[in-house]
Amino acid sequence: MILAIETSCDDTCAAVVGHDGVIRSSVRSSQDALHSAFGGVVPEVASRRHLELAVPAVERALAEAGVALAQIDRVAVTQGPGLIGALLVGVATAKAIAFARKLPLVPVDHLSGHVAALRLAPLRLAAPFACLLVSGGHSLLIDVERYDRLHVLGGTLDDAAGEAFDKGARLLGLPFPGGPQLEALARSGDATRFPFPEVLRDRPLELSFAGVKTSLLYRLRDLGVGAEPARADLAASFQAAVVGQLASRASSLLAETGRDVLAVVGGVAANGRLRDELAGVCARSGARLALLPPSLCVDNAAMIAAVALDREGISGRELAELDAFARSPLRARGIGGQVS
Ligand code: KG4
Ligand code: ZN
């Protein structure tokens, strides 16, 4: 049994996953209510809350799995990227457990974790496949040759897709976290009422959301106090612009890689309109769409355990010296980068 801990942003997560890839428990203590008063995640507030929630989250994950700490034979933890203070709480907790129980510890890249969620039961998606990773902090187009060989073929030039949803929602006066709220408001809106400009038409593997966000700002300003009845139409039109761009890039990714499976992971993969449009892209490309339940799309610790399934882990001095990192090698290496 693997015990995994994930604290890269504002959710305190712990999970128990069997070596057979079956999730025995996956606990997610959300800090949304705490941060909504500030309209976004406050790093220092998140770290302090992780300190309070980390041990109870581990205890709950073990209890829900019906597993004793003595039955755990490997510990996994998100090493980065993310908020450094938040990550350090998870890393310190995992190190303490590994030391006390004399267990190997597997440090995990958060982005590899999002992709590895696809390995878990019942989906058990086999590589190779093309993957769209869309979360609050990242938007990447990845060719997954193997789970330990990810090739980044494209990404965003500015905001991540989830960040665009969150900022758009904030402009529309919706509470944090904005993505799901914006989707809910858009449900009653007319997505064709406010066309947004198409971006980067000649760069099919790159994304950019800054222009869409600015267009929304100007539309709201132009509508002034009259914006109120048009808010749902604006939300629907904005969502259509963001999702439309993701769908066109997903289509380019399939063409570029020649893969016959498209997977979508990260928090934004929970978006219903995105799921529908990607189904259309796959139907047109003759590819299969691989989707996860929303609980495995958003940040969770089961995906961190999924990376550790075939890794030995570190111990001794290496374990003692393990540190967190704020930026991912996947991202730092940029487009064309590879992580294994
Ligand atoms: O993967 P995740 O939980 O955390 C990061 O690693 O960033 O993704 C969170 C992001 C947030 O920006 C949130 O607004 C967005 O995913 N999100 C959504 C939806 N659910 C979550 N965006 C659009 N529609 C949704 N239904
Ligand atoms: Zn994430």
**Closest ligand to 274 CA?**
1
Which atom of ligand 1 is least distant from the CA of 82?
6
Residue 65 CA to ligand 1 center (angstroms) comes to: 26
Note whether 223 and 316 are same-domain residues: no
Note whether 26 and 109 are same-domain residues: yes
Note whether 271 and 318 are same-domain residues: no
**3-class secondary structure per residue, the chain:** CEEEEECCCCEEEEEEECCCCCEEEEEEEECHHHHHCCCCCCHHHHHHHHHHHHHHHHHHHHHHHCCCHHHCCEEEEEEECCCHHHHHHHHHHHHHHHHHHCCCEEEEEHHHHHHHHHHCCCCCCCCCEEEEEECCCCEEEEEEEECCEEEEEEEECCCCHHHHHHHHHHHCCCCCCHHHHHHHHHCCCCCCCCCCCCCCCCCCCEECCHHHHHHHHHHHHHHHHHHHHHHHHHHHHHHHHHHHHHHHHHHHHHHHHCCCEEEEECHHHHCHHHHHHHHHHHHHHCCEEECCCHHHHCCCCHHHHHHHCCCCCECHHHHHCCCCCCCCHHHHCCCCCEEC
Note whether 181 and 270 are same-domain residues: yes
Residue 74 CA to ligand 1 center (angstroms) comes to: 29
Residue 294 CA to ligand 1 center (angstroms) comes to: 10
CATH number at residue 228: 3.30.420.40
pTM of the model: 0.93
Note whether 11 and 88 are same-domain residues: yes
Mean pLDDT split into 10-residue runs, the chain, 340 residues? 95 97 94 73 84 96 98 97 95 98 97 97 97 94 96 94 95 90 96 88 91 93 77 96 97 98 96 97 98 94 97 96 82 49
Q: Please report the pLDDT score of residue 151 as a whole number.
A: 95
